[in-house]
Amino acid sequence: MILEWFNAQEAIAAGHTLAESFLRDDARATKGRAKVQEGDRRAEVQRLLRRAALDAKPLKLNLFKRAKLLGAFKWRLIEQGFDEAGAGELTHLLLLQLTGTPIPSTATPQVEFRNTGGSRRRIDLSLSAADAAASRGDYAEAVVRLQEILSANANHVVALSNLGDALCFLGRYPEAERAYRRAVQADPKRADANLKLGTILHWRGDFSGAETALRRAVKLEPRSANALCVLGHALAALDRADDAKSCFERALRLKPRSTDALCGLAWMASMEGRFDDAESLLRKALDIDPACTEAHTWLAQQRRMTPTDQWWLETAQRLLERPMAPIEESRLHFAIGKYFDDIGDYGRAFEAFRKANEQRKKVSMTYDRAARAAWVDDVVRHYTAERVGTPVQGANDSRRPVFVVGMMRSGTSLVEQIIASHPQAMGAGELQFWGMFGFKHQDVVCGRVPDSGLVTKLAQSYLNELARRSSDAARVVDKTPANVDYLGFIHRVLPNARFIYMQRDPVDTCLSCYFQNFINAASFAMDLQDLAHYYREHHRLVKHWRSVLPKEVFLEVPYAELVSDQEGWSRRIIEFIGLEWDPKVLEFHKTERAVLTASNWQVRQKMYSSSVGRWKNYQKFIGPLLKLRDLSP
């Protein structure tokens, strides 16, 4: 969805063609006339612009592509001798035609040929050359041309914005983000620059930053369906399902044939367990645009694929033949990997997942093994049994919070769904509260003793967050896997909170991480060696928590035992969090609620054990992970 939006070569080429056509027809219309009456000239210019708008209509321009077409139109006019003011007036009138806005009857652009000046002309020619390079897929050349412009004018907004686009197609996302930030700083009121910045921040896992930029874009361009769709995805990643759904619905009202909006609503339907509705929406998107990669990718996630879906595979492979940015390519490879895994062709499945992760690495930050090991060292050294057991002034005794933690893909969503099926409990999904606090206040989490005022404020802020999710549930589940890093600190702030740790076979867990396209760009999950390292540090940390946390607040649930003895372990879980037994938890797959994680399909199924020992299908491909078999639980 999001990357289709960046593919604007066709719009750039169309802008050049429309400008050349306008110049040719205008010259033909005025040839041989010594003097043209103002009214005749006005009518002729408007006729030519109407014709240009009609020629552009089949392109189905979104905000970004329309801006690209208009920019290419303007700079081609300047390149051919128009002054910038006259070219700008013509471009504005073409914008009015493209958007169906009535043109003022007095509008008569000044289209005399003038000398545009040496420096400006060089910049204009470089912009034109960069656009031409991008239109033929030579993004490296486009980058060179745009950097030439920026060496002369470091705040040239169009060059900065176009540079970000070219860098995206080259997979150089950190540099692209910097280019978009500079474009926004140079002109904060450019909706397209804010939209691009928000988009790339979403890709890179900075969902809060993405929301800020995207809200600016929507404020500047309230009728931008594209900005609303990207904002919807960022809000969903922040676990704000209702707000996300509202964005997609609003976008569809603005643009009823928006494949972006249809795919967004399909995603939300999938999160709510309405897989048939999701598939219907995705097929509608494909009817509108058979080459919509987002719809095609999501279609593979709605059910188990079978050999009868060969048409899907053939289409996906054809789509990969098109030029596309690395992140879009990675999504298709992940979907193809799932197809082959579903039908049991494990060699081809692993190869697809490997390609997906290689592309995904280009957008993600590099996993720092030394930094991770140092973090675990600090936590283990700081949170001794004595310190963990010492009461902290300002702590809150609430029993409402339940934390389900563990490695990603270890069964945390399943246990959350089991608890959320109890009438007195609610599942809040993956909250970012403790991770954000830990990121901003690492000295407090891992060193400095917090003062009572901070502890009181922190506890109350978190309980308020739970209250916003549910005002009456006796227990609210936060199933953020990464909270495992902060259990000692959380226990000191909320000593009666309960921690449920999901323990799954380490090889199965890591393999499942490698096969998953995480929206938060988990950097360790894209390389088998990094996965093995991260898991060993995770195991070391959990072993420490097991030894220092009070037994009454820490329950370890083995995934394999849970799926083989559903009722026995479900009873232990419900008893552990202090609730009376209710048989509804055994029908967890029928519970209606949004599950905004990669396990949204699994938690809608009855308990199954086919994921236990899955790694054996891939044993010959995963050497670095097999060494994890030596770890004791």
Residue indicated by tokens 């040719």 = 24
pLDDT at 352 over 50: yes
Tell me if 438 is assigned to some domain. yes
The CA-based dihedral angle spanning residues 231, 233, 237, 243, taken in that order and rounded to the nearest 10 degrees: 60
Tell me if 605 is assigned to some domain. yes
pLDDT average, residue stretch 416-437: 89
Residues 354 and 434 in one domain: no
Residues 328 and 415 in one domain: no
Residue indicated by tokens 């057991």 = 389
Q: Residue 308 is part of which domain span?
A: 304-363
Q: What is the DSSP code (8-state) at residue 82?
A: B
- Work out how many domains the chain is built from and give that number: 3
| Beta strands 425-427 and 401-406, pairing class | unpaired
Residues 377 and 339 in one domain: no
Residue that terminates a domain, selected from 101, 116, 131: 116
pLDDT at 101 over 80: no
Residue indicated by tokens 């802008």 = 15
Residues 340 and 442 in one domain: no
553 close to 496: Cβ distance less than 8 angstroms: yes
Tell me if 469 is assigned to some domain. yes
d(CA 323, CA 169): 9
What's at 388, amino acid-wise? V
- Across all residues in the chain, what is the average pLDDT? 84
d(CA 149, CA 179): 13
d(CA 560, CA 577): 21
Q: For residue range 443-464, list pLDDT tens digits in order.
A: 777 766 677 888 899 999 999 9
Helices 157-169, 191-203: crossing angle, 10 deg rounding: 30
Q: Going by C-beta distance under 8 Å and a sequence separation of 6 or more, which residues neighbour residue 70?
A: 15, 91, 94, 95, 98
Task: Name the H helices within 289-431.
Answer: 293-299, 310-319, 326-343, 346-360, 369-382, 385-389, 412-420
pLDDT average, residue stretch 613-620: 92
CA-closest candidate to residue 473, choices 430, 420, 426, 427: 426
User: What are the structure tokens assigned to 442, written together?
Assistant: 């690492």
d(CA 333, CA 293): 11
Per-residue pLDDT, 36: 43
Count other C-beta atoms under 10 Å from residue 434's C-beta: 22
Calculate the alpha carbon distances from 320 to 76, 297, 352, 633 in Å.
Answer: 32, 12, 12, 42
Q: For residue range 474-502, list pLDDT tens digits in order.
A: 999 999 998 999 999 999 999 999 999 99
User: What are the structure tokens assigned to 375, written together?
Assistant: 């973090």
Residues 374 and 325 in one domain: no
Residues 493 and 620 in one domain: yes
Residues 330 and 395 in one domain: no
Residue that terminates a domain, selected from 86, 116, 146: 116
d(CA 141, CA 147): 10
b (16+ CB within 10 A) / e for 51-84: ebbeebeebebbbbbbbbbbbbbbbbbbbeebbb
Residues 374 and 358 in one domain: no
Tell me if 543 is assigned to some domain. yes
Q: For residue range 570-588, list pLDDT tens digits in order.
A: 999 999 999 999 999 988 7
Q: In the chain, what percentage of residues exceed pLDDT 90?
A: 48
Segment (H or E) for 556: strand 554-558
CA 333, distance to chain mean position in Å, is: 16
Residues 334 and 404 in one domain: no
Calculate the alpha carbon distances from 234 to 240, 296, 520, 525 in Å.
Answer: 9, 21, 11, 21
DSSP secondary structure of 88-133: HHHHHHHHHHHTTPPPPTT------B----HHHHHHHHHHHHHHHH
b (16+ CB within 10 A) / e for 599-628: bbbbbbeebeeebeebbebbeebbeebeeb
Show the 3-state SS of 432-490: CHHHHHHHHCHHHHCCCCCCHHHHHHHHHHHHHHHHHHCCCCCEEEECCHHHHHHHHHH
Q: What values do phi and psi take at 219, rounded to 5?
A: -65, -40
The pLDDT-based confidence of 3 (bands split at 50, 70, 90) is very low
Tell me if 616 is assigned to some domain. yes
Higher pLDDT, 375 or 365: 375
Tell me if 263 is assigned to some domain. no
Q: For residue range 76-99, list pLDDT tens digits in order.
A: 777 666 666 777 777 877 777 777
Opening angle at CA 162, ends 159 and 167, nearest 5: 120
Q: For residue range 313-326, list pLDDT tens digits in order.
A: 999 999 998 877 78
Helix (H, G, I), strand (E, B) or coil at 69: helix
CATH number of residue 503's parent domain:
3.40.50.300
Residues 347 and 374 in one domain: no
Tell me if 298 is assigned to some domain. no
pLDDT at 155 over 90: no
The lowest-confidence range among 63-77, 135-149, 456-470, 513-527 is 63-77
Residue that terminates a domain, selected from 295, 330, 363: 363
User: What are the structure tokens assigned to 245, written together?
Assistant: 């759904």
d(CA 319, CA 311): 12
d(CA 135, CA 592): 47
Per-residue pLDDT, 113: 39
pLDDT at 384 over 50: yes
The CA-based dihedral angle spanning residues 66, 69, 72, 75, taken in that order and rounded to the nearest 10 degrees: -60
| Beta strands 554-558 and 498-503, pairing class | parallel
Q: What is the DSSP code (8-state) at residue 627?
A: G
Calculate the alpha carbon distances from 279 to 282, 285, 585 in Å.
Answer: 5, 10, 28
Helices 225-237, 259-271: crossing angle, 10 deg rounding: 20
Q: What values do phi and psi take at 432, rounded to 5?
A: -100, 10
Please tell me the chain's helix, strand, coil percentages from 3-state DSSP, rounded to the nearest 5. Answer: 65, 5, 30
Residues 433 and 519 in one domain: yes
Residues 422 and 329 in one domain: no
pLDDT at 310 over 50: yes
d(CA 593, CA 426): 10
Q: Against a cut of 0.85, is the pTM above it?
A: no
Count other C-beta atoms under 10 Å from residue 415's C-beta: 29
Tell me if 277 is assigned to some domain. no
